[in-house]
Amino acid sequence: MGPRYPASVSSRIVTRPTLLDVVEEVTAPSGSTTHRQAAARHRPALSPSRAADFKQCPLLYRLRAIDRIPETPTTAQARGTLVHAALENLFDLPAELRTPEAALDLVDGAWAAICAQAPELRELVPEDETTTFLSGAHKLMTTYFRMEDPSRFDAESCEVRVEVEIDGDVLLRGFVDRVDVAPDGRVRVVDYKTGRSPGEAFEAKALFQMKFYALAIQRTTGTLPTRLQLMYLADGQQLTYDPDRDEIERFGRTLAAIWRAIRTAGTTGDFRPRRSRMCSFCDHRSLCPEFGGTPPPYPGWPEP
């Protein structure tokens, strides 16, 4: 290809947390070594999802990021993990072998490998439902090939972890599905979504994620991506964003303000619930005062 992506990002390719991590935490008894290690293994950081949690409901942020209370895995999560793994493996193949048929084989192989590592997933997707489950993943891959032809370019890197501090103490952490570099050096960041494209009311949330990645990569490498692209494989739609340096700098100040609010709540333990229509999908309603529940005692702000 043309110019290489800066080594400070390319060298950060690591394994993305997957459904296997969720299964490990769910199946570990509360208070067990595995559960305690899961709760302590990360210094609190701001990711697109955690920032969205705090904006949606501070208590949700606390239960996920500080208490790290396990949530029940879903078939949608399993399908997302599967499709992401297959797409990553697809770009490990030579360009001429990146065909729709090969992609479907990669889906089936990835599912076998995932289940070998976490047999508990067989309970989530019983054998008599596996055909339907895999058919859904195949459909997403077929839609992907209608959106772009992976045989016409090489990804610079896949499953990239970006981690950087801004404003002294705001740790940003995220995982980017794919980074492409054009022959003229322009950088494109691609994120796959296995759901449907957002309606107008939720588009701002998607843009928030893309701006987050633009800022993290720019601060990590000194290179501002030319384009950020979300690919919605359920309906074949794409959402693109061409970041502006001044706008991204302003967004950095917004993230710093969110982090200050989180740290203030972390000092006092005052993570208040905020009722919304998203409560219907929350795993933690039984612990929420808005629904008659009581959160566990606050464990305190985790220190590295």
pLDDT at position 41 is 44
Q: How many CB atoms lie within 10 A of CB 293?
A: 12
229-255 per-residue burial string, b: 16 or more CB within 10 A, e: under 16: bbbbbeeeeebebebeeeebeebbeeb
Backbone phi and psi for residue 128, each to the nearest 5 degrees, phi listed first: -75, -5
- The domain ranges of the chain are 18-26+72-152
φ, ψ (nearest 5 deg) of residue 160: -95, 125
Q: Which residue, 47, 77, 11, 53, is CA-closest to 273?
A: 53
pLDDT at 304: 63
Q: By C-alpha distance, which of 194, 218, 198 is closest to 207?
A: 198
- Give the per-residue pLDDT at 201: 66
Q: What are the tens digits of pLDDT across the range 287-300?
A: 999 999 999 999 99
- Contact between 224 and 218 under an 8 Å Cβ cutoff? The reply is yes
Region 49-78: mean pLDDT is 94
Indicate whether 12 pLDDT > 60: no
> What average pLDDT does the chain have?
85
Mean pLDDT score, 25-36: 38
Residue 13 clears pLDDT 50, i.e. is over it: no
The b-or-e profile of 269-280 (16+ CB within 10 A means b, else e) is: eebebeeeeebe
Q: What is the pLDDT of residue 294?
A: 97
Q: Are 48 and 214 in contact (CB under 8 A)?
A: no
CA neighbours closer than 13 Å in the CB half-sphere of residue 153: 13
DSSP code of 13? B
- Of residues 40 and 240, the one with the higher pLDDT is 240
State how far the Cα of 178 lies from the Cα of 229, in Å rounded to an integer. Answer: 10
pTM over 0.75: yes
Q: Are the beta carbons of 10 and 217 closer than 8 angstroms? A: no
Q: Are 146 and 88 in contact (CB under 8 A)?
A: no
Q: Is the pLDDT of residue 43 over 80?
A: no
User: What is d(CA 291, CA 258) in angstroms, rounded to the nearest whole number?
Assistant: 26
Residue 193 pLDDT > 90, yes or no? yes
Average the pLDDT over 33-42 and give the result: 42
Q: Who has greater pLDDT, 138 or 22?
A: 138
pLDDT tens for residues 67-110? 999 998 899 999 999 999 999 999 999 999 999 999 999 999 99
Whether the CB-CB separation of 166 and 252 falls below 8 Å is answered with: yes
For 173, list phi and psi in degrees, rounded to 5: -145, 135
C-beta atoms surrounding 35 within 10 Å:
19
The pLDDT confidence band at residue 42, using thresholds 50, 70 and 90, is: low
Q: Which of 14-23, 187-196, 258-267 shows the lowest mean pLDDT across its residues?
A: 14-23
The alpha carbons of the chain give a radius of gyration, in whole angstroms, of 20
Specify whether the CB–CB gap between 77 and 85 falls below 8 A.
no
Q: What number of residues does the chain have?
A: 304
Residue type, 231: M
The CA distance from 250 to 73, in Å, is: 36
- Per-residue pLDDT, averaged over 135-159, amounts to 97
CB 217 within 8 A of CB 189: yes
Q: Are strands 187-193 and 157-166 parallel, antiparallel or unpaired?
A: unpaired
